[in-house]
Structure 1
Amino acid sequence: MAYTPTRRQLLRAGGATAGTLALGRRRLAAAQSTVDPDVLIYPDDPLYADLRHGFNLRWIGSPAFIALCHDSAQVAQTVQHALDNGLRITVRSGGHCYEDFSSGNDGGVIIDISPMASVSHDAETGMYAVEAGARLLQVYTALDEQFGVTLPGGSCSTVGAGGHITGGGYGLLSRLHGLTVDYLHGVEVVHVTNDGRAEIVTVTRDSMDADEQDLLWGHQGGGGGNFGVVTKFLLADLPEAPAEAHLMFHGYDWSTLDQASFRRFLQNYGNFLAEHSGVDSPYKGLFPLLGLNQLASGHIGLTAQYVGDQPELLAEFARAVSDGLPSPTARRIMVGHHRIVSQSPEIQSMSWLTATRQMSGTGPSRRGKYKSAYMIEPFPDEQIDVIWEFLVNPAVPNPSSLLQVDGYGCQVNAIDPAATAVPQRSSIMKLQYQAYWTDAADDDVNLEWIRSFYTAMYGEQGPMPDSVMDGCYVNYPDVDLIDWPTLYYKGNYARLQRVKARWDPLNIFNYQQSIRLPEDGATPTV
């Protein structure tokens, strides 16, 4: 995000630097509580304007103050201060929430944990500790360079660990190594007790208490900000970081595609993943991303990464997917969040960390709307026809709108749906509908495009679990969803409600799609 470097520089300069920016009212308010006065950022502070929004510029909040917390004690103090003053609490790590669940907290307090960004290793226990404010690229770099291990997580570099991991977490190594939460051994959380006290707890897989086990399980895909403020993750048995990665960037000019060749392209892609997404597939080291950009962009982008000792499989994948299609062209392209610096039909090999950095680009902060879907089977023909129509004949063309189709499955699907809070463990593709724009005057037309597209694909209820679809990804939140408990959590929602009742009984941590207390309803249909 655009404000990150400035904020980091200020924070790294120490608390005194931040304190020199404080005005009288800020110090007076802090003096009435136990919160460090250098933590609280009020509207008259020069930092406030940059900190009141995240990645999605549709959500620019007007909180009473923002708390930049450096450790769990400061988080607990801020939570207690908010409770004592009747202020609503939302939590922000990297600021990439697609909806207004964190930054859109007018009159409340945003607890921003981005200063908490350390990555460490305990040689005695073998645990890796990642503070929840660390950005993903920071995490990968530290784990690789210091310890020779990695974490299968997302490829957008500035996403914060706090939201990413609690929502499940996946990325270019997930077909090979599974989801991020499959390696979660423990969490440190600031929660609120039944009598209104902020309390710091640490729970691990070794905990003997069933409630503590439930709290850990709830953070393995239940979504961020539901049970408290997670401040630290403990990770175990992390895989060795790959030494090398092989990348492929293909572009297909829209001018060379007709509806028949487009249909063949999507059939090729879906059929390949249906055949090669088993747990023991030799292609589990392959992760493809298909960027189906609108016609106005001029092209479709296909990106793939392979790690393993059979790099020739990447070329075999390319041949299978492009069978019967025009030859790919060399061009600079952008596939969703993935900014491709240089693009060539030829396979490029480089160190894995270099590849990760190249694939970790993120676009500028803009206005946006997003939707998601998991697929168990390839695209039905009628869905392909809908995709064609909304990409080729939109009411108002937007070269920054697309449908991204990621490969899925393999090791992800080796885990039981109830073992973590992520129930989607049989999918072969993961879809993300994306629309980006800069002017608020264009909100309505872009929202209409993505909503109409989604409804034409799945109907008013969305991609309800059936023989083809398998719900939605909680880390791509969408307030348009009607039965979101089923779409996100399926049969795991009832247990998440029990976790909520035990660890946030006063429902202090709430937003439009937060886990409901059992008595509040919102029970899934399946």
Structure 2
Amino acid sequence: MTMGQEHGTTLGRRGLLAAAGGLAAGLAGAVGGTAAADPARGPDPARGPDPAREPDRGAVPFGPASVRPGDPRYASLLLADNQRFVGRPDEIRVVGSTEQVVRAVGEAVRAGRRVGVRSGGHCFENFTADPGIRMLLDLSQLDAVGYDPARRAFAVEPGATLGKVYRTLFKAWGVTIPAGGCPEVGAGGHLVGGGYGPLSRRYGSVVDHLYAVEVVVVDGDGTARAVVATREPDDPHRDLWWAHTGGGGGNFGVVTRYWLRSPAADAEARSVAPDPGRLLPPAPGELLEALVEFPWDPAVMTEQAFTGLLRNFGTWHERNSDPGSPAAGLYAVLEPSHHTAGGFRLVVQIDAGIPGADGIVTDFLNQLVAGTGLDTSRGGRKTLPWLYAMTWPGNGESGDLLTRRYKGKAAYLKRSFTDAQLAAIYRHLKNGTGTPACGMLLVGYGGQVRTVAPGATAVAQRDVVMKAVFHSIWADEADDGANLTWLRELYREVYADTGGVPVPGEVSDGSYINYPDVDLADPAWNTSGVPWHTLYYKEGYPCLQRAKARWDPLDVFHHALSVGLPG
């Protein structure tokens, strides 16, 4: 399934990877359709019109559309965001309902055709462009967002972009979810991988607000059917819900709908006439945003200054990531780039309505440059309407039409990088082999995320304060080798003490599945002896395997980093 990007600033238009809060994002193999009253049997016509996707009066429901090689639509529908990987399926099936997904999956299984699933189309790896995929399910038309009074939760289909989710929830109810900051990422993969964004330090991971999920699964006899799983303790399908709270896309089936409701709002939902505006976190009215530019001036940006800046960023997050603290409302992304870019930036966002918001930002910036000889004079502050800040300029990609080849690597951090790691980062960003589009992101995390027990969801990394994303972005296929080598060697050197990967320990806590990296499963790049699935899921992997055995016993849904069957 494809990945949903996430996070929340603008690294080359929110920054390919700040979208990575984004690149975010996430395996989009999840995805959307109709509600089902009977979890085992699928949609119940007796419930009447689907409140989350009731069509316009007289409109004909979309799809399915079958697009094959030779069709003038084929090339346009084939390309996803990362053009390093372009598959050649026999058919691209564009679907518009859960029933259409059930039929498509059933047909593919009976014909022995491997299925791939794409909603947003953003993925670090080739999970939806593998040459073995013969039917590519395109879920982009499953994009409804609305309130479902039957489930007393908000329904979001997988093809809905985050921008559409934000706009709909905000305009109708004034609420939001703590998801990513790149508006064109699809909800499908972003949510199932445990998405995060500018409000996560304040409100947690997006999956902390996941109430239910509808999934098209395939039984052991090859029968495809739709199942609804909820977080209710007595739900017999609760393990399927749990698997979608950070288990990654492309593992268990095709998600055709998510229902979102904050656990703290369960009492409101049980009331006679619940107020939808109280079922998810309130959206900010305005965001205060600060932007700081740091030039790669060798007279100023010395190794001591650079490493001190990154160390201070980490130290501040170590000290200011307690749940509920005023500083937990501050979200910062430091974006060190290769020196050939001439400089790099810091983006800070905070709900302008938080008491003392401007002072919190000022204190953060002062601590960031303390002892470095650097200053924060290049840049500025502005207050923006929240919806404008989260969805402008609207497509998340303008100006980057040729920048479509990329590779990313990620890591969770419990505290600041060590001195040796900071020195390694400096060496690679200062050497002459990289390009202006090579670099990394340090992203603030923690806060409310830390209130959830590691086993309560499939997001196992809860006692963390930052995420790190290492990336290279380029346009020409001829440059693949140089860019991949630069990035791989940087990552290997940063994690040299733990076999080239972020093994959970005092500093690191593994990696993030929405930024998948097949190198973690390659013994040439992972010499730690720790398997890739431990880096992503830690002790939760056996639970995911049991869910896999129950819901996808034929391993219909798989890719290079998919959850494996037990044994």
Distance 1:388 1:37, change over 3 A: closer
Match of 2:367? 320
Q: How far off is 1:347 after superposition? A: 1.6
2:504 maps to 1:465: yes
Structure 2 matches for 1:316-395, cutoff 5 A?
Answer: 316-323=363-370, 324-328=372-376, 330=378, 345-358=379-392, 361-362=396-397, 363-364=400-401, 365-394=403-432
CA shift digits 1:50-91 (9 cap, x unpaired): 111211010111011111111111111110111121100111
Local SS of the residue matching 1:382: helix
Q: Which amino acid in the other structure matches residue 431 of structure 1?
A: A
- List aligned pairs for 1:215-230, cutoff 5 A: 215-230=240-255
Distance 1:106 1:48, change over 3 A: farther
Match of 2:482?
445
Amino acid in structure 2 at the alignment position of 1:481? L
- C-alpha offsets along residues 31-61 of structure 1, whole Å, 9 cap, x if unaligned? xxxxx98521101111110111211010111
State the partner residue of 1:13.
Answer: none
Deviation string for 1:448-488 (max 9, x for gaps)? 00000010011335001001100000000000003210000
Q: Which amino acid aligns with 2:155?
A: A
Question: 1:107: Cα distance to partner?
Answer: 5.1
Q: Is the 8 A contact 1:95 1:103 kept in 2?
A: no
Alignment partner, residue 234 of structure 1? 259
Kindly indicate whether the alpha-carbon contact (under 8 Å) linking 2:365 and 2:376 is maintained by their aligned counterparts in 1: no
Deviation of residue 103 (structure 1)?
2.6
Please report how far the alpha carbon of residue 322 of structure 1 lies from its aligned counterpart in structure 2 after TM superposition.
2.0
1:411-426 superposed matches below 5 A = 411-426=448-463
1:246-297 deviation line (CA, Å, top 9, x unaligned)? 0011101001311111121112111111100111322011000000100010
Shift of 1:124: 5.5
- 1:205 Cα deviation from its structure 2 partner: 2.0
- Does 1:273 pair with 2:299? no
CA distance in 2, matches of 1:172, 1:38: 36
Q: 2:339 corresponds to which letter in structure 1?
A: L
Identity over aligned pairs, percent? 40
**What is the distance in 2 between the residues matched to 1:47 and 1:392?**
44
**2:525 maps to 1:489:** no
Of 406, 423, 434, the residue aligned with 2:471 is 434
Q: Is the 8 A contact 1:56 1:368 kept in 2?
A: yes
Which 4+ runs in 1 deviate beyond 4 A? none
Deviations 1:298-317 (A, max 9, x none): 11210010112321211211
**Letter of the 1:347 counterpart:** R
Distance in 1, Cα, partners of 2:489 & 2:377: 31
Which residue in the other structure is 2:332 paired with?
Answer: 288
Q: 2:493 — aligned with what? A: 456
Please list every run of 5 or more consecutive structure 2 residues that lacks an aligned counterpart in the other structure. 6-61, 263-279, 522-530
CA distance in 2, matches of 1:480, 1:506: 26
Is 1:113 aligned with 2:165?
Answer: no
Superposed CA RMSD in Å reads 1.6
Alignment partner of 1:263 out of 307, 329, 348: 307
- How high is the TM-score relative to the length of structure 1? 0.87
2:492 & 2:562 partners in 1: Cα distance? 23
CA contact 1:88–1:105 (8 Å) conserved in 2? no
Q: Which moved more, 1:277-286 or 1:508-517?
A: 277-286
Displacement of 1:117 in angstroms is 0.5
Q: Is the contact between residue 63 and residue 96 of structure 2 (CA under 8 Å) also seen in structure 1?
A: no
Aligned length: 469
Letter in 2 for 1:293: S
Contact 1:252 1:329 in 2 (8 A): no
SS at match of 1:221: coil
Matched with 1:8 is none
SS of the residue 2:485 aligns to: helix
1:142-163, CA deviations, whole angstroms, 9 ceiling, x for partnerless residues? 1111111001001111111110
| Structure 1 residue identity aligned to 2:309 | F
Q: For the structure 1 residues 72 and 125, does the alpha-carbon distance in structure 2 shift closer, same or farther, using more than 3 Å as the test? A: closer
Q: What is the aligned partner in structure 2 of residue 181 from structure 1?
A: 207
